A and B are shown apart, each in its own frame.
Chain A
Amino acid sequence: MTSQGDGAGQPPNLQSSLPSLDVRKIRAIDESPENSTSSLPFRPASPAVLGSRSSTLSGFLSRSNSPNGRSSLSLARFGRSSTASPLSSVADGNDEIRTLIVRSFSPVVGVLASRETDALAEEKGFKNGFVSLLQPYGERITGKVVVRDSTGASRSWDDFGVKFVGLGAAVQERATKGSEILENVEDLIEHYLEQHTGEFVAGFQEISPYYRLLLSRLASSQPPSQHETLSHPVAAIIAISSSTANPIETLRNLYSQSAQGSFASPPYINPEYLRYYLLVHDDDKDDLAKSSALFDQMKRHFGLHCHLLRLRSAICAQDDEDGEEVPQQEWIAASTELSKLQKTTQLIELDENPIATIFSTDAANIRTFARELVSQSIVPHMEQRISLWNEQIASRRRGISGRFMSLSKRWGGIGLGSSRNSSATSLAAPTSSSGNYDSIQGYYRWDTSEAFLRKMADFATMLRDYKLAASTYDMLRSDYSNDKAWKYLAGVNEMCSITTLLNPLLSSSTTSSSGKSLPKLETFDTMLEAASYSYLTRCNEPALALRCVLLTCELLKVRGRLASELASKWAIRTLEMNLAPQSTNTHVLISERIASCYAGNRPSSAAATTAHTISSNSYTLSHRTRHAALWSLTSAEEWMKLGRAPFAAARIDDAQELYERLRHHEAAMYGFKEMHTFMNDLSLTVRMKLGQARQRGLSGTSATGRLVEPDRGDTPGSTGDPLGAGSMDEIEEQPQVEKIDTRPVRGGGVYHGHHRSLTLNNTSVAEPVVALGPTSPVRTRGDPLQADQVDDGFE
């Protein structure tokens, strides 16, 4: 497969990520955590987290491109590559999450295509209309995009993206039940878990790709709504093709459709979005000269916002050497993805390739188009709007006169005529009355000042000017609460906390007392409280509440210990609020994150020196290691209840490692008997389950009650040798993959440091007929966990 001729900033394509996937796979299976943690790359951001928050945050400013590589499972039938999944390889670092969150706020561009254009797309194999041809290429704009923010400073981003949606989808409201979204996300995660059993197990303090999936789907699953304009279109592309009969006529038609006709915006969506005209020239069929002439005409009519896109209308065959695969879409709603996956499985059954291919020239052209669109039209347009609204509306609100105005607004229509639904509210009118909120229908009209402010703030978020965004959202908070616009209030609280935390210039309140410091943690608490309460109780939108809390928690986590405690408190509250019911994947993913919050995001201390420093200081540094271990074990238990043994094994190892950090780790492990019993039993169950899975995988037959052990020839001396009672020896000479841990035997007695060997490398795990009940901590028969070479022990 030829490489795609893209700019330098292109993330690794499918091919380059394949090898990385394999490496990860082997890692997860064969290495013990001891080795795997030592082979973890020493993340440049992480030592900063240990102490100085400022260096971490400045690291965010000079962010390098952190690609979300794609991975793919190879299906046997399709040689080249196949169903790609959105789960990239297990990656770590909170930078990833931050990038994810930042990128989830990208401008929405509506696409309105003429019939011929849609037909052209369909010929190429894209059945959902022209927009589906554009969609995958908008999410990562090649090269750097330069954005000037409100203070005039310009920054360049190389992971900018836009979301192309059909204009109908963008402006027409869909009624989705709040809990439906959560269910869809849950189903999606379940589906991927099923598909990739045992892979993608996140190591210690790595972020599970399933969690990233959860976050991204939560963020992108919202239908267009009144209360947040993030999903309202920023621009619309009106596309005609060179085979359209009356091009100018059609363009006018489409425009009027978008302005007044069937695609007109509802009253809360600002209809003054940028119109961009696209002429799609069919290379194979039509005449380039004619199209160019038409294009010139368009340019004269419509100005700069036009583009001529050259595509070939022939369908690209699977193994055409000019072709390349269409990249997988990153930001799709959960329900859409589910239906896509269904279709994919159907296609696979029919022996067709589910991945579309198009010619590389086409792909290059589309990418160029996207880049031009963004850097020359959309970003300048947005910047202009922001500065316009800023001047006209926001600056009136700030300052003394602004406060008088808001006061007078609050004291109501005493002197000011309240103009409910007044369509005459002009931009320049300084006193927008308090009746702007249409409480009957539950929205603000698009031309009220609050709506403009919100839109401005959202534009600022999309252009990554977080300071402006945060201050505007703050302004709006009091407005909305006066108007009792609950959903809006919740949305604005949510966005305020997110943008404040995304702002990299602020340091934590404990280090700085100047005006520049991060607002106190209590404000985040209040905001989260208000947002989640409004969402849940008043608006019945659990998905939004969950999204709000999770995104804020992720951003709080990196801001120091107090903040991460707050984050964990809120994450626990989401579990209490029953946003993720007890035995769902969402629930356990959140539990894992809670553990990570408590663990403090320090890199796993493989280096012995760091471990010593940390543990010897454990009386002076305040830490929540034990809490983290508790939550790790809780999540391990939950994983086991869901039947996912590899994840449980990884979490148990995490807990072990966390306990190791303590100065008195023997007490943690052995002192409290019930704890110890529980941990042992849990690990035993996990190993049994893993052993089953492995046997099934190896022998291909369903595991029977007895040992199938001789699959592996490399287990000398183990067959039929139940370790005699009291035999403590580490079976060092076994050359198996199982990494015997080499740490000295600790604490004597029956138990010794075998906990490392829990990970799923072990081969011939016996499947005992009788499961050990959770009783009798005293094992008279040697160490069963060590002796997993034992075939028929345990009876």
Chain B
Amino acid sequence: MSYYFVVVSPTDTPMFEYTFGTSKAGGSGQAHFRNGESSRYMNQFIIHAAIDVAEEVQWLSPNMWLKVIDHYAPTNSHISCFMTGTNVRFMLLHQPGGPPAAAGSRTSTLSSSSIAQNPLSPQTDEAIRQFMTEVYEVWVKTMMNPFYKIGDEIKSPAFRARVAAAGRKWL
């Protein structure tokens, strides 16, 4: 399962982007997107398109965690969204079905209920929610940083490291 995580500001600019793959069940932590090279820009397009839906769905639920809001069929990508109080969106694009089985042992450890295989299961949902909550905590701390101008790109390597750690832990 490959992930592409973006923090989108209220003015739709990306404040933070991070691509990674699953580390669970023998995954290497590297992202292997189905569409290969074109995923560099396609992922951005897909996330951007999902902002449409986020804007609509945000009024329907009082929660910050909006779950899977959109689905892009041609690459079988799902987008989940977590919305903060200041209209900052954490959007995660997850695409199941990573690299073709390099080693037979690898696939055998992936059970059908594992996160990697089934993007819509409640386990995946829960895992992503935990991930988002952790990122949210880190993000709040970043916001409180007096040297950080709100709306800017988040350049702090500590932030990146924490997000990566959260990814490894939950996803």
Residues of chain A whose beta carbon lies under 8 Å from any beta carbon of chain B: 569, 572-573, 575-576, 618-619, 622-627, 629-630, 633, 662, 664, 666-668, 671-672, 674-675, 677-678
Contacts and interface: CB of A to CB of B under 8 A. Distances in A.
B43 to A, nearest CB: 8
Interface string B148-167: 00000000000000000000
Given A671-B13, A674-B40, A633 B52 contact: no
19 contacts: A572-B73, A576-B73, A576-B74, A622-B52, A622-B55, A623-B52, A624-B49, A626-B49, A626-B50, A630-B48, A662-B12, A666-B11, A667-B11, A671-B14, A674-B41, A674-B44, A675-B41, A675-B44, A678-B45
A630 B55 contact: no
A678 B41 contact: yes
A582 to B, nearest CB: 10
Nearest to B57: A622
B69 interface: no
A514 to B, nearest CB: 26
By secondary structure, the B interface counts as: helix
B51 interface: yes
A666 B151 CA distance: 14
A573 B44 contact: no
Nearest to A619: B55
Contact of A626 (B41, B48, B74): B48
Nearest to A671: B13
A573 B73 contact: yes
B161 to A, nearest CB: 22
A672 B44 contact: yes
A672 B52 contact: no
A629 B44 CA distance: 13
B52 A625 contact: yes
B41 A677 contact: yes
A672 B48 contact: yes
Given A672-B44, A674-B41, A622 B56 contact: yes
Interface in B71-124: 73-74
Contacts of B127: none
A62 to B, nearest CB: 34
Contacts of B9: 667
B46 interface: yes
A624 B12 contact: no
Nearest to B70: A627
Contacts of A629: 49
Contacts of B55: 618-619, 622
A769 B128 CA distance: 48
Contact of A630 (B14, B46, B53, B56): B46
A625 B56 CA distance: 12
B92 to A, nearest CB: 16
Contacts of B12: 662, 664, 667-668, 671
A624 B72 CA distance: 13
- Interface size range of chain B in the complex: 20 to 34
Given A572-B73, A575-B74, A667-B11, A627 B52 contact: yes
A675 B41 CA distance: 5
Contacts of A677: 41
A677 B38 CA distance: 12
A664 B11 contact: yes
A431 B117 CA distance: 52
A675 B43 CA distance: 9
Nearest to B37: A774
Q: 8 smallest A-B Cβ distances: which pairs?
A: A667-B12, A671-B13, A678-B41, A622-B56, A664-B12, A674-B41, A672-B44, A626-B49
B47 to A, nearest CB: 8
Contacts of A569: 73
A217 to B, nearest CB: 25
Contacts of B44: 672, 674-675
A627 B11 contact: no
A664 B151 CA distance: 14
B48 A668 contact: yes
B120 to A, nearest CB: 16
A683 to B, nearest CB: 13
A626 B51 contact: yes
A622 B49 CA distance: 13
A572 B74 contact: yes
Given A572-B73, A573-B73, A671-B12, A630 B41 contact: no
Nearest to B40: A674
Nearest to A625: B52
A664 B10 CA distance: 9
Contacts of A627: 49, 52
A671 B17 CA distance: 12
A622 B51 CA distance: 11
A674 B41 CA distance: 5
Given A626-B49, A664-B12, 20 more contacts: A569-B73, A573-B73, A575-B73, A622-B52, A624-B53, A626-B51, A627-B49, A630-B45, A633-B45, A662-B12, A664-B11, A664-B13, A668-B48, A671-B14, A672-B44, A672-B47, A674-B41, A674-B43, A675-B45, A678-B45
Contacts of A630: 45-46, 48-49
Contacts of A672: 13-14, 44-45, 47-48
A34 B47 CA distance: 28
A445 B11 CA distance: 65
A626 B47 CA distance: 10
A662 B48 CA distance: 12
A667 B13 contact: yes
Contacts of B45: 630, 633, 672, 675, 678
B73 A675 contact: no
Contacts of A618: 55
A629 B45 CA distance: 9
B93 to A, nearest CB: 13
A393 to B, nearest CB: 42
B103 to A, nearest CB: 29
A666 B12 CA distance: 9
Nearest to A679: B41
A795 B46 CA distance: 33
Contacts of B73: 569, 572-573, 575-576
Interface string B17-60: 00000000000000000000000110111111111110110000
Contacts of B56: 622
Interface centre among B9, B44, B47, B73 (most CB of A within 10 A): B44
A647 to B, nearest CB: 19
Interface centre among A575, A674, A677 (most CB of B within 10 A): A674
Contacts of A675: 41, 44-45, 48
A674 B45 CA distance: 9
Contacts of A625: 52
A622 B55 CA distance: 8
Interface centre among A569, A630, A668 (most CB of B within 10 A): A630
A668 B13 CA distance: 7
A573 B72 CA distance: 11
Contacts of B46: 630
Nearest to A568: B73
A673 to B, nearest CB: 8
